[in-house]
Structure formats: structure tokens, C-alpha cells
Structure 1
Amino acid sequence: MRQSFPTQRWQIATPSPDTAKELSVSTGLLPLVAQVIINRDIATADAAHTYIEPESQDLPSPLSEFKDLAASVELIKNAIADGEQIAICGDYDADGMTSTALLLRALKHLGAKVDYAIPSRMKDGYGINERIVEEFAEQGVGLILTVDNGISAYEPIARAIELGLSVIITDHHDLPEKLPPADAILNPKMLSETSPYKGLAGVGVAYVVAIATAQSLGKIKGLTNPILELFTLGTIADLAPLVGVNRRWLKRGLRALPNSELVGIQALMEVAEINETQKQLKPDDIGFRLGPRINAVGRIGDPQMVIELLTTDDPQIALERADKCEQTNRKRRQLCEQIEQEAIALVESTPIPWKESRVLVVVSAGWHHGVIGIVASRLVERYGVPVFIGTYEEEEEEVKEKKEANKTPLMIRGSARSIDEFNVFDALNYCGDLLGKYGGHRAAGGFSFLAENLEAVKQRLREFAHKCLEVEHLKPLVKIDAEASFSQIDFELYQQLEGLQPWGIGNSPPVFWTRNVRVVEQRAIGKTAKIHLKLTLQEANSSTKIKAIAWRWAEYCPLPEYLDLAYKLQENHWQGNTSIELELVGVRLPQTPASNNISATNQPIKKPIQNNIQKAVFTHSGRIYVCSKTPKELRIRNDRGNVLAVSQGNPTGLLGKSRDEAKEVNVTQAPYFQLIKAALQAIAEDN
């Protein structure tokens, strides 16, 4: 029996009312906004000023932070002076493609002879390889710059050095035990934990190299703004932490993008229907609208299309490439929807024992390698466990042929996404002897292995998951900043929160919660299918109503009438009117329900100790129920507010909306017996 209700765990930040009041007085911020800042480890007026205005902070020179930066600048300057061919080796994700475009623009601006190569996602996999190195050598390349890759490519870099090429590695991925023998290595993972450059993505390292080289040559004029826009696009699309120099430079870049100097970005905003009259873009404009259109090409198309889009100065070419990005992204969305539904069906019909395993491993033939990582993220959101999703490297027909002919061993290739308490890279290391190629970091990774090892990999991942995960971890985590009343939600609150932008990894958007909210109206919506949930909400003991949207929650409709809600704030523009709406990210049963006054005895209810209450949400005969169980009583409430209360060992219970109007029913007879059985089963599964 599958629940039709988001099962989550809430983590509510500890309130600091006194500190919030002091910060509010000293900064002029609302106390609720001050609490949000405090939750991000900022507790003084000076720290708050730097947080809100990062340009006011003094930065150390990148030359003093990156020990190989000066050598890198000299290598590039010498190559330009000697007319030596420079080659960039990028990657096929948004970070790698924007990094490649950034250095192409910068080096051409500086007078370099420069070209690039990006490995094929399907044929080559991630990063520079010996084939690319040898092709560069044949083309007369003298200097290679890797962007967003190279730190783990020991053999290809060693081959380049053997062939007499110079190599600069610019990367941001985790450091291997043995670094490649490059002439220079620039990686923020090599910096101190306190360095403001620590969180740079690959495009950030490329930006540092470009600016330092241009300054050294005295040719910075006309370069900074265009490459700052590419830095902004790549950094947000790669989910880099929005702290340190990232936050400082992104605030500037987001202001520049609406009036972009790059015709490619102008065209991309046009197809993404982003209003160019905005004073500045928000990270969500990139994360959900521009970034996916670029990433889609790297996943299922030809990355050269994006490089041409971001380096051309011809508006017609830019619009043609942007249109192709749009078409590719539509295909990507269709593939994701199809694979997600197939994966869910596989999980729930097989069934796959993900709760017992504490990790979900799902493999099927015919899924596109380029998008299964996105599907893995959606499955993590749905099930709240680490997800390892894989498909066969061959097409479905080839899989069948190989199985029948017993030919070359089948390989499974996949992606992993995680929850906070589970380290993907450590898990892959734990399975290392069963895998072929693999890599990643704490939150995500990629891997391949022989299909015959599938059961062994599942068992090994199960062992690892049981070492680091408890049962209570197996629910999606909702992190909440503070409790708010609907009466506090207005344009002043929204504008002050907007002043804390950019939001993203490392500076998460604020999430508030409100208790005992009544769902006045709810309906599933979507252009082509009912995917999202639109609601009208009313806070208890108030006449104030507010609209809300819950993305990808249509399957949970209808939600129970009364809920505690967790949400973000968003601005809605419709027919010339602007309003503040809620974006729901979490729901739970009210901890103090609106109708909680029915007892199976004639005595008033004594509020039970919270830790002794077990709760669950379940469906039975097509309806949603919420139930709670104490050592003495079971209570089951339907979506119309009727409650069935049953004392342990008592063949009769009380049914009604309140104690005064409740009637006695025989709970040993249908339909109550089956309902009680379903409730007890749901509680056992959920607790």
C-alpha cells in the first residue's frame, strides 16, 4: 500500500529571539529576516553588512592564493608571444562548456591561437584522455589547458608531457592521492579552508586565469563583463556554493545578465522567455531556465552547439543555436519524465526493498545515460534514500542479443545521488573492486561495472548504507529557518529577503513554516499533464488566505484538510497584478490538530507525551487517512475531519468530528476492522 502523502523529516532551526532582536535593531532588518541571517552563522551587524554587500570585503589576490597561477600566466603569455597553438580540453556539462567558452573568448581577446576539444559523453566519458592528447600533438599544439577536469587524469597528462606538450590543469574536483605531472595545477581544493576562493567551480578557476593573464598583458578592457556573465552562468548551473568570491562576483554578474553583451546569452534568454526588463536575474532563472537548456545539450546532444552559442558574435547564429538548445531540452524533459515513471513503476511493482536496504538501486535497459542522473535526483526527493540508477551501455536490442549469444560481457553504467548522511564517493570506494570506472564526490557520482556483478554491487551498497544510515534517515529532509504567521508575509518581508540573494548551495533560500493551516482549495494543474498542485490556504484563527504552488505534487491531491506547512516565498505576476505566494516544500500532520477532541472514553483527552505518539498517513479504499497511536489509543482521521478513536482491547470505538456528536461503532465489523488494520500496518511501516 503506497502512501499518497509526502513523508518527510523536519529540521527546524533553534530560534534566537534575543540575538535576532539585537540584529534587527542594528541593521533595520525585520526580526524574521535577522533570524534567517543568524541561521547562516552571521550574528553581528558588521558580518551582516558584508553578507549583504560582499563588495565591501577586502579580498586577497588570487596570485597569493593559487601557488601555480603566476607560472600559468607566464606559460600562456609565452605561448601567445611565440604564436604557439593553445588547446582547451573541456567537459560536457554546463560548468565545462561555459569554462571552455570563457577561455576561448579570453584567449582570442589576448591574441592567442586557440582551439578546443570536448570528450563525448557517450564514447569517451568524462575528462581528457590519451586519444585527445595525441590528436592535439598531431595538430601542433604546444600548450594544453584543461577546464573542469584533469586533476585525476594522470596517464593522459603524463602522455602529453612525454610528447613535449606543456599542460595547465584547471579543475575543482577532489584531489587524487597522486597528482598528474602537469606544469601547473590550479584547483581550489588545494587552498586553505578559509580561502574566499575555496568554493570556485571549474568556470571560476578559468575566470581567475583569464583575468590574471589579461591584467598581466594590460588587456583587461572589454573582457571582464563578457566573461563575468559566463562565470555567473556556469557557477550557478554547476551548483557551486554561493559563498566567498562566488557570492561577490555573482551579485555583479546577475545584475549584468539582463543587459548581456553576449548575443548567445541574449538568444538563450529569449527562448527561455526571461524578461530582459528585470533589474537583475536570480539564481533560479539560471538554475531552472538557462542552465537546463545548456546542460541538456551536453547530456543528449553535441556540446559544440553550446560553445558556438556562447562564443559567436552573430545574432542570427546565436538564435539558431539557442533554438536547438530549446529543442534538445524539450527532448531531455520527455526522456526524464518517461524514465522517472518507468523507474517508479519498477521500484513499486517489483518491489525493490529500498527501506530494508537503506539504499535504492534501480537498473533497466533502454534508459539514456545522459539523463539518468536527473532521474536519480528526483528519486532521492521521492524516497529520501541514496539512489544508484543504471542502464546497460548498449541499446536494448544489443542487450538482448548479447544475452542470447553470450558474447562480450554486458556493462552497466550509472549515476548516483545522495542524502546528507551518505557519502557517494565513499560508497563507490567501498564497492571499488566490483566496479570499472567510477568517480564523484559526497553528493553525486558516476560508475560502471559488469552486469554480472549487479547483485554483488547491490549487496555491497546495502552493507555500506547500514554502516552510516539509521532508519530515521530514510525520509526526505526539510530544513526550516523559522516559524511565521501568514500575517507576517508581505512585500516588505519579501523585498528584505530578496536583498540577501543570491540563494543557492551554501546559502540556501529561506524556508518558513506555519502550523494548523487549512487547505481551502486544491487542484492538480499542468499544461500537458496534471503534474503540480495549486492551493488556497488559510491560517487557523485567521481570515487571511494565500495562494500556493507545490511542484510535482499532483499525485498527493487531495491533501488532508489541516496541515503544518513548510514553504518558500515567491512573487507571482498575473495580468498586471503582483502578489506573494508560497512554494510548498514540506507538509506534516499538525502537531496540535484543529480537531483533536474525541476520546474513546467519556473523559477529556490528556495531551500525550510527544515521544510516545506514532503517526502515519495512508490510503485505504481510495481515500487519504492520518492516524496516531499511543500505548492506550488509536485515532484515525479522514480528509473530511471525521475521527475514529479506539481504545486498546475495546470492541467499540467513537466516530465523529467532536466528542459531543461522536457515535459508538463496532470496530470488529466492516469497514472499521479493515481500516484499523490498514492504519496499524501504515504505522508499523512508517515508524
Structure 2
Amino acid sequence: MKLPHQRWSIASPDLTKVNQLVQETGLSSLLAQVIINRGIDTPNLTQVYLNPESQILPSPLDEFPDLFISIDLLKNAIETGEKIAICGDYDADGMTSTALLLRALKHLGADVYYEIPSRMKDGYGINTRIVEGFAQDGVGLILTVDNGIAAYEPIERAIELGLNVIITDHHDLPEKLPPADAILNPKLLPENSPYRGLAGVGVAYILAVTTAQSLGKIQGITTPLLELFTLGTIADLAPLVGVNRRWLKRGLRQLPNSQLPGIQALMQVGGVSEEQKQLKPDDIGFRLGPRINAVGRIGDPQIAIELLTTDDLGIALDRAMQCEQINAKRKAMCEQIELEAIYLVETKPILWQKARVLVIISSQWHHGVIGIVASRLVERYGVPVFIGSYEEDVSKIRGSARGIEEFNVFEALQFCDDLLGKYGGHKAAGGFSLLANNLEIFEQRLSEFAHQSLEPEHLKPLVKIDAQADFQELTPNLYQHIDGLQPWGIGNDFPVFWTPNVKIVEQRIVGKNHLKLVLSQDNNEPLIKAVAWRCGDYFPLSQRLDLAYKLKENSWNGETNIELEIVGMRLPLSSINLKPGMFYYQGKTYTCNFVKNENELRIRNEGGKVLAIKQGQRMGLLGISRETAKQVDVTQPPYYNLIKVAMEFLGIK
């Protein structure tokens, strides 16, 4: 029988803290576990998490050192009629940032226009050609949004030409910052700053609002700016923590009532109901955001900018329909490239398990969508993916990368620095270019890096689970509490629960290879409906499975029911044939034994690493051999609970 090739990581929070949180908040035990798993484990943190508006925020003027300078530069340009040019980016963050500042600066009376580099001709970010074009057009102040922090030479050229430059960006800092007049980047702030997680649109939002306040013209502009902030932040997959969580909670309530024609039109073509009391991140992540992103990937970004800046509903609907058509084309391209990539992986064959990284290159794949395909391949194979396509000049390759939890994409690209042209990114994703002649050694270098950070057991898609639940606990009331803690998303993942030994009462394939299920636990009521997306290949399922899932609410004909979205499935523990000395813990198998003459407990994982602990000692050894093992504090997670389970398994007290 075939099942998804997955590894499960089941959280094991401190039950004392769980019980304390239940008493303090009145939340269910399940939700208390979820909150503690998010690192919220004190009364103050819990209060802010449950009610983000209660958090006392420092002024952004105190947090961003160059914010005063930036406001003064903008005020001076507005008052003197100096031309301002915005240089944006072609993703959803960059385009919403550009639209936000265009709206704000026009509201403030500025002479402002914009340019977005061509994805195909220019690549990412401001360049010298754009700078020199601005200078010829009589621009006095350049404002970058969602780019610029790594553009040393273009910014240096702008200063040489006598232009002022404000950089607003959120990407990682280079070793040498550009010589701009002002730089606004949350990566320059302390790690604990509530503004640290802002996307590019968040930095633009702060600059726009504080400038409007300084000029006494804030009236009538905050609501549309907040809506654009909400759209761009979620579409860019920014972490939903700190000020992002606080402001998004307001923005998501506001969006169904938006007076912006572009957002009204976008919701209409995206099938988002204006009757909703508030939108959810998924409404933006799966319906609105992709339609904007698609334009930057394979179309003309001007379409999205016009959509988000027009006050004419007719123009907005026309641009929204263009976004819809481009997105349909993008989806078809992604599906085709994904099928071609899977065919290459499985027929060539590509030995990704041996390499611990999947590198896949082909001609005629569109640069604008291969990043999406990389994400899908990561979901399928559970391995870091570097996917590329030859440029028109076949001697060059351009690509995108997506990682897994234990792998740092940007560090991997740095490890290949001497082989690459332009590259950039962060831990989870990146982009790169290289000469085709360097491809073979690039693959070898990436494999070398992957072997330093990944073990064989890491090469499975990871399912992170919050808590075990019984079906009787999966009530509409629990769902309402979960829904009340929106926004869920990046950095604040939607809760995932699991139930062991579930009975599959009914199963059938629907739509494009999805599974529809009816489930029961212990042959008892209630029966619960479920869907497992893109899992038709596993039909028919075994009659009994351990299932991991998210709760969903389904309304039909005036009735509302709880359903499950299956994200993980495995055989029940009772059906796994464990060898002597082998036990099962948090979705993984371990072997253990106790060596009496050395008074030492030894626990071996699936990858061959051994944790060795002598009774009564705080420090243990972890590694493949004693010579290379490192010392670890076994009183700390995850070792403490693992040792406790192993001792119980062996009957040691």
C-alpha cells in the first residue's frame, strides 16, 4: 500500500504551562498547546497574542534611525515641486508598495512617477540604466521600494549625478550598505523589535503614514494604505507576528468594505465574497495575491499598478480581468513545467537522495514561474530544490531555489559564490544565475553543502503537528476560537492536530486527483468529512490510519459543519512491525539499549546518530561516533522527553 513519504514532528509542550494557560485564559487545552507551541508562554505574551491591539508599540520614529531624514527629504521635494521617482519590484510586495506610495504621495501633492524593472531584461532591483534615465528626466529624489539594499553601484551612481536617494527595503543586509541619504530596513533593527518582520510594503506604509502626519494631511488616506499593506504583506509571505499581526487584524476586517475600486474588482474576479465580515490570509494567499503576482511573473507590472491606483471602477474591472487571464495562463504554465520536472526526476533519473539536494535545469521554462514549481517539488520530495532555465543565450542559466527547515538557501548560494553571477535570497528561498559551463560543479558544490546540514531522515516532507485530538473535541466552538485568533500564516502557522487509528468509512476520488473521505474514531460518532488535496494517487487508503489535519468550516444550505483538511497520513503504530529494542516517538523510530557495565543509556535515530547518557549526568554525547560526537544538555528539549520515553520503554526507573 502506498502512502505519502513524510516525517512527523509532534510538539510536546510542558503540561504544567498548558494547564496554567487554560486556567488564566479559559481556552481549551488544545488551543493552549497551540499557543505555547508558538513560543507564547507568559501571561503578558498571551495577552498580546490574544489581543494584538493591547500591545504598546514604540514609535517608528524611535525605531528607524533614518526615518526623520526620509520624511524631511520627502517634505522638501513636495514643497519645492521636485520630481520624485519610485523604483519598485515586480512581485506582489513590490507592486503593492509602489501603489501605496503613489497613492500617498499624490494625496500629499507630490510630483511622482514610477518605474519597475523588467523581470526578463533587467532582473531584480534598481540598476544604473534606471538611475541614469531618472537623472535625464529631471528627477531630484529616488525612492526604492522592496529593493535597493544590495544595489551599491546604482545608488553610488545616483549620488554622483546629484540625486537624493531613500532606500526602503526588507531584504538581508549586504556587507557594505549603499551610500544612500537614508535607508529604512527592518533588518537594521534589533531582533526583538516589533517592526522586525515588516515586508517591503510595511516599510512603505510607515514612511507614507509618518510623512502624511508630519504634513498634517493624514485624513482620508490611512484606510486605503492599510488595505494595500494587508494585501502586500500576506501575498509576500511575511511573518504574521509583531506589528504585522496587529495591523493585519485591522486590515483583514476592513478589506470587505474597501472603497478602492481595484480591490473591489480583484475580490470580484477572485471569487471573494464582500459579505464576509473579514477576510482571512488564505483569501489573499490563494485568491487575490496570485492574481497580482502573476502579472509581475509573466505580464506587465503596470497592469497591477493601474489596478491598485485607479479610482475608476471601469478601469479597475478591466485591469482585474487582465490579471485573471494572466493568472490562468500562469497556472497552466506551472502545471506543465511541474509535470515535465517530475518526468525528468523520475526517468533520467536524478539521484537527489544521494545528493541531498535536487538540481533540475531545462530549456524553455519561464523564469517567472519556476519558483512556484520549486515550491511544489519541495512539497513532493521533501528536499531542497534548485530549478533553472537556460536564457536566450544558452550559455547562461537563471534559476530559483526553495529550501526545507534544516537547510539555508542563501548560505548554500554563498557557498557557491565563485560559480555564480547575480544571486540573493534568504533562508527559505533565493534566486541565482550562472554560466552553463559551471552547472556540473555547481551541482557538486550544492551537494557538498547539503551533506553538511542534512541527514538522510531530513529528506521527507515535514508535517509539524501541535497536539493529539479526539474527534469529540473537534467542535464548532473550537473552530470559532481558532478563527478568532486569525491571522494565521507564515510565522504563526494554522494549527495542525492528529488523531490515531482513524477508521476510513468512505473514500472516493474527486476533481483533479483529490480524495474525499468520511471518517470515524473508535467506530463511534461523530462521523467527520475530510478532504486530502492531490492525494488521489494513494487511493484506496487502508481502512485504518493515523491522520494529521487542519480544521475547516463548511457551510451548505444554511448548515455549518466542521470538516478536516488532511495534511499527513501514516499507518497506525500498532500495524508497524517494530524490531526488538525499537520504539516509536513523535513519528520517528528509535532503537535503544542500556549498557549496565558502563551505566549508560544509548538511543539511536533513523539516521545513525546516537545519544549516549550516563545515569545522573546532565551532559550527554550526540553523534555518529564518540570521536566526532558533541556534548548536549540532556535536561533540555528535545532530549529530555526522548530519554524519558526510552527509559519507560526499557523499564528503567
TM over 0.5: yes
Name which of 245, 257, 260 aligns with 1:259.
Answer: 257
- Secondary structure in 2 matching 1:41: coil
CA distance in 1, matches of 2:259, 2:397: 44
Name which of 493, 497, 500 aligns with 1:508.
Answer: 493
Asked whether the 8 Å contact 2:507–2:515 carries over to 1, the reply is yes
C-alpha root-mean-square deviation of aligned residues, in Å? 1.9
Aligned-partner residue type, residue 31 of structure 1: S
Which range moves more in the overlay, 200-209 or 448-457?
A: 448-457
Task: Determine the structure 2 residue equivalent to 1:445.
Answer: 430
CA distance in 1, matches of 2:223, 2:206: 13
Asked whether the 8 Å contact 1:519–1:538 carries over to 2, the reply is yes
CA deviation string 1:441-488 (max 9, x = no partner): 111011111112111111111111111111111011111100001110
Asked whether the 8 Å contact 2:582–2:590 carries over to 1, the reply is no
Distance 1:31 1:82, change over 3 A: same
Which range moves more in the overlay, 556-565 or 93-102?
A: 556-565
Task: Determine the structure 1 residue equivalent to 2:305.
Answer: 307
Asked whether the 8 Å contact 1:426–1:442 carries over to 2, the reply is yes
Task: Determine the structure 1 residue equivalent to 2:607.
Answer: none
Asked whether the 8 Å contact 1:8–1:475 carries over to 2, the reply is yes
Per the TM alignment, residue 533 of structure 1 is displaced from its structure 2 partner at its CA by 1.8
Asked whether the 8 Å contact 2:531–2:564 carries over to 1, the reply is yes
- Secondary structure in 2 matching 1:151: coil
Aligned-partner residue type, residue 398 of structure 2: R
CA distance in 1, matches of 2:449, 2:71: 44
Task: Determine the structure 2 residue equivalent to 1:98.
Answer: 96
Task: Determine the structure 1 residue equivalent to 2:326.
Answer: 328
CA deviation string 1:510-561 (max 9, x = no partner): 10000001122222222xxx23221111112423211111122222222222
CA deviation string 1:184-203 (max 9, x = no partner): 00000000011000000000
Asked whether the 8 Å contact 2:399–2:433 carries over to 1, the reply is yes
CA distance in 1, matches of 2:278, 2:537: 35
Distance 1:218 1:521, change over 3 A: same
Asked whether the 8 Å contact 2:374–2:385 carries over to 1, the reply is yes
Task: Determine the structure 2 residue equivalent to 1:74.
Answer: 72
Task: Determine the structure 1 residue equivalent to 2:184.
Answer: 186
Name which of 163, 166, 169 aligns with 1:165.
Answer: 163
**Corresponding position: 1:560 with 2:532:** no
Pairing of 1:31-46 with structure 2 (within 5 A): 31-46=29-44
CA distance in 2, matches of 1:525, 1:393: 39
**Corresponding position: 1:29 with 2:27:** yes
* Structure number with larger C-alpha Rg: 1
Per the TM alignment, residue 272 of structure 1 is displaced from its structure 2 partner at its CA by 0.6
Task: Determine the structure 2 residue equivalent to 1:357.
Answer: 355
CA distance in 1, matches of 2:398, 2:13: 45
CA distance in 1, matches of 2:16, 2:474: 21
- Structure 2, gaps ≥5 residues long: 593-653
CA distance in 2, matches of 1:196, 1:15: 25
Name which of 570, 574, 588 aligns with 2:570.
Answer: 588
Q: Percent identity?
A: 71
CA distance in 1, matches of 2:2, 2:423: 36
Task: Determine the structure 2 residue equivalent to 1:489.
Answer: 474
CA distance in 2, matches of 1:76, 1:243: 29
Distance 1:629 1:470, change over 3 A: closer
Asked whether the 8 Å contact 1:438–1:446 carries over to 2, the reply is yes
Asked whether the 8 Å contact 1:144–1:165 carries over to 2, the reply is yes
- Secondary structure in 2 matching 1:152: coil
CA distance in 2, matches of 1:283, 1:572: 17
- Secondary structure in 2 matching 1:437: strand
Asked whether the 8 Å contact 2:583–2:591 carries over to 1, the reply is no
Asked whether the 8 Å contact 1:225–1:261 carries over to 2, the reply is no
Task: Determine the structure 2 residue equivalent to 1:134.
Answer: 132
**Corresponding position: 1:549 with 2:531:** yes
CA distance in 1, matches of 2:302, 2:584: 60
CA deviation string 1:98-149 (max 9, x = no partner): 0000000000000000000000111110000011111111111000000000
Pairing of 1:169-318 with structure 2 (within 5 A): 169-318=167-316
CA deviation string 1:596-632 (max 9, x = no partner): 8xxxxxxxx999543499x99xxxxxxxxxxx9999x
**Corresponding position: 1:454 with 2:439:** yes
Asked whether the 8 Å contact 2:520–2:526 carries over to 1, the reply is yes
TM-score by length of 2: 0.88
Asked whether the 8 Å contact 2:197–2:239 carries over to 1, the reply is yes
Task: Determine the structure 2 residue equivalent to 1:414.
Answer: 399
CA distance in 2, matches of 1:31, 1:607: 35
CA distance in 2, matches of 1:606, 1:316: 66
Which range moves more in the overlay, 131-140 or 72-81?
A: 131-140
CA distance in 2, matches of 1:75, 1:220: 18
TM-score by length of 1: 0.84
- Secondary structure in 2 matching 1:564: strand
Aligned-partner residue type, residue 584 of structure 1: I
Task: Determine the structure 2 residue equivalent to 1:148.
Answer: 146
- Secondary structure in 2 matching 1:10: strand
Per the TM alignment, residue 27 of structure 1 is displaced from its structure 2 partner at its CA by 1.1
CA distance in 1, matches of 2:103, 2:267: 20
Aligned-partner residue type, residue 331 of structure 1: K
Task: Determine the structure 2 residue equivalent to 1:339.
Answer: 337
Q: State the aligned residue count.
A: 591
- Secondary structure in 2 matching 1:14: coil
CA distance in 2, matches of 1:630, 1:154: 54
Task: Determine the structure 1 residue equivalent to 2:552.
Answer: 570
CA distance in 2, matches of 1:612, 1:62: 49
CA distance in 2, matches of 1:276, 1:16: 42
- Secondary structure in 2 matching 1:219: coil
Aligned-partner residue type, residue 413 of structure 1: R
- Secondary structure in 1 matching 2:133: helix
CA distance in 1, matches of 2:572, 2:30: 22
Name which of 13, 16, 21 aligns with 2:14.
Answer: 16
- Secondary structure in 1 matching 2:525: coil
- Secondary structure in 2 matching 1:352: coil
- Secondary structure in 2 matching 1:436: strand
Per the TM alignment, residue 21 of structure 1 is displaced from its structure 2 partner at its CA by 2.3
Name which of 503, 528, 534 aligns with 2:516.
Answer: 534
Asked whether the 8 Å contact 2:516–2:532 carries over to 1, the reply is yes
- Secondary structure in 2 matching 1:88: strand
- Secondary structure in 2 matching 1:543: strand
CA distance in 2, matches of 1:294, 1:533: 30
Task: Determine the structure 2 residue equivalent to 1:661.
Answer: none
Per the TM alignment, residue 215 of structure 1 is displaced from its structure 2 partner at its CA by 0.5
- Structure 1, gaps ≥5 residues long: 395-407, 597-604, 617-627, 632-687
Asked whether the 8 Å contact 1:86–1:141 carries over to 2, the reply is yes
Distance 1:192 1:612, change over 3 A: closer
Aligned-partner residue type, residue 582 of structure 2: Q
Aligned-partner residue type, residue 179 of structure 1: L
